[in-house]
A and B are shown apart, each in its own frame.
Chain A
Amino acid sequence: MRRTAYDLYRRSLSALIFAGCVGCAVLIVGVLGWVIGYLSSIGASSLSIGFFTELPSGDVANPGGMKHAILGTLALVAMAGVIGVPLGVATGIYLAEFKQDRYILAPVRFTADVLAGVPSIVIGILGYELVVVPMGSYNGWAGAFALAFIMVPIVARTSEEMLRLVPDSYRAASLALGATKAQTITRVVLPAATGSLITGIMLALARICGETAPLLFTALGSRLLTLDPNKPFPSLTVQIYTYATGPYPEQKRLAWAGILVLVALLLALNALIRYVASRSITRSIA
């Protein structure tokens, strides 16, 4: 073996590429750490028990808390989930388990991919036209529908991918025992994929938690704790937006606290997702 210049070159190149990768990783983690640190330093000072328990006071110098917005976001996400999860999972099942419908599947899959890429403001305007205008006012339903609309394609495509990871040998074993297709799906395929399906659903929920644009045109936002979906509906993101763009310093501080809470919520959700994903059966068998 000759130790040539080329040998030196390829070893140096390898070291260089490795160093580059480490550098990028450090950079990304660093930026995230900086964002969180910056948020904490500003937001934490405005964060108090009152933030979670109080409602807006109407006094710009002492604006109260965001209890209404936190509950509003949870309610909106829950409503969107109730609409979006069954639709999304059902579409995912169709895409993964009905392979013989080749000429329907391709357009459905394409549509889902396009919808997943539509800017969320467009979905907000869609919600405005389809729900707000007919119902005559901004309302919670419109917000929930807009968020569900964002969820469905994400849940559908991730569910499809997860169901594809379930080995065909399970389906064959079930069918060979005389099971119907529906029995095979509900008793074998879905249970085998539950963990990973939940992961996909939670990813979609995390995504809609932080949406603002589709809510501006639909739920609008509210300073009241009237969680009536027929009326304008509060949400954390819209409240943050309102306070942050407003003129009052105390409200701006409250917006920072809101952002911190939102980011903490998303981090917690992501940690939970990773935990569920690491325990999911599909991963252990695939």
Chain B
Amino acid sequence: MNETPSKPAMSPVKVEAIDPLDSAVLDMPRQAPRFNVLSAIQNDQPHAPAIHPSVAHGKGIVEIKDFSLYYGPKKTVHSVSLSIPVGHVTALIGPSGCGKSTLLRSVNRLNDLVDGVRTTGDILVGGESVYAPGTDVIDLRRRVGMVFQKSNPFPMSIFDNVVYGLRIHGERRRSVLEEVCERSLRGAALWDEVKDRLQSSAMGLSGGQQQRLCIARAIAVEPQVLLMDEPCSALDPIATLKIEELILEISQKYTVLIVTHNMGQASRVSDYTAFMYLGRLVEYGPTSHIFQTPTLPETEQYITGKFG
């Protein structure tokens, strides 16, 4: 390397090299001409999320109302209000760790499994409160299906996996179980691949097939809402494409709330998109609006990959 011919004096050079960078970073917010929502959020200052009028009606199948969640002392979801329209796909996007999964798991109260979780505000599913004392969590979870980030079929046969939800709710008639199994597997675009081996173990399926099996298992009990937490993040591009097609298919019948890390996926599969940042809702509206003419420049910056 052709460094200065002088002695390798270290410290002064380093300090000079870092100094201008540092001040540039520090200068950036000062140079910003307008109130920045993201820096307001970073500084824990109040901000008003940009909600498109088409989703400000408050008549969603899922109504998240001023909902906050704490993991122990740590506030992870900050007063989020969100109205999920029935019969559509709504995507939750935002940088990793911003609380998308947490918010999703709040809808079916799966966060109950975590020690020391506390919530304020409420969520309504189909008009019924999720957090009111005396809520039947078992019934709530029957009405709200969930597909997880990592496919998690039970170590049982494909058939037993699909009809698990029915069996736990007391259905025993073989004919009903078989009918629902076929309908659900068809609904999850898996029937043709597995119809000849329904009794073999689900663990032998490929990753993409396992995830579609989990979707079949979730829709077998005909939930009002289907939650999906990054359902393609562990899959290869072709399996991802199949699931995306499946989500579009499913949305003919079900309301889907999907967390995704992938902007392209959000724009392809969703009708509405909510952008979250550090546990707050930043902007929410029709996907075309969010991706083409977002109200906030911060949303545009995130969507075009300038940060996050």
Contacts and interface: CB of A to CB of B under 8 A. Distances in A.
Interface of A: 99-100, 167, 169-180, 183, 187-188, 191-192, 281, 284-285
Contacts of A174: 154, 164, 168
A172 B141 contact: no
A175 B154 contact: no
Nearest to A179: B168
Interface in B112-141: 113, 115, 138-141
B203 interface: yes
Contacts of A178: 138-142, 165, 168-169, 221
20 contacts: A100-B115, A169-B148, A172-B110, A172-B152, A173-B152, A174-B164, A175-B141, A176-B108, A176-B141, A176-B145, A177-B142, A177-B145, A177-B164, A178-B138, A178-B142, A178-B221, A179-B164, A180-B168, A192-B154, A285-B155
Specify the main secondary structure of chain A where it touches its partner: helix
Contact of B141 (A177, A188, A191, A281): A177
Contact of B165 (A167, A177, A281): A177
B65 interface: no
A187 B218 CA distance: 17
Interface in B176-209: 203
Interface of B: 108, 110, 113, 115, 138-142, 145-146, 148, 150, 152-156, 164-165, 167-169, 203, 214, 217-218, 221
Contacts of A177: 141-142, 145, 164-165, 168, 217-218, 221
Nearest to B218: A177
B242 to A, nearest CB: 21
Query: Which 6 residue pairs of A and B lie closest in terms of their CB atoms, listed nearest first?
Result: A178-B142, A169-B152, A176-B146, A177-B165, A178-B141, A179-B168
Contacts of A173: 146, 148, 152-154, 214, 217
Contacts of B108: 176
A281 B142 CA distance: 28
B130 to A, nearest CB: 14
Contacts of A175: 110, 113, 141
A179 B108 CA distance: 12
Given A173-B214, A176-B110, A180-B168, 20 more contacts: A169-B148, A169-B150, A170-B154, A172-B110, A172-B148, A173-B152, A174-B154, A174-B168, A176-B145, A176-B218, A177-B141, A177-B142, A177-B164, A177-B165, A178-B139, A178-B142, A178-B168, A187-B167, A191-B156, A285-B203
A178 B113 CA distance: 14
Contacts of B154: 170, 173-174, 188, 192
A282 to B, nearest CB: 9
Nearest to A166: B155
Nearest to B214: A173
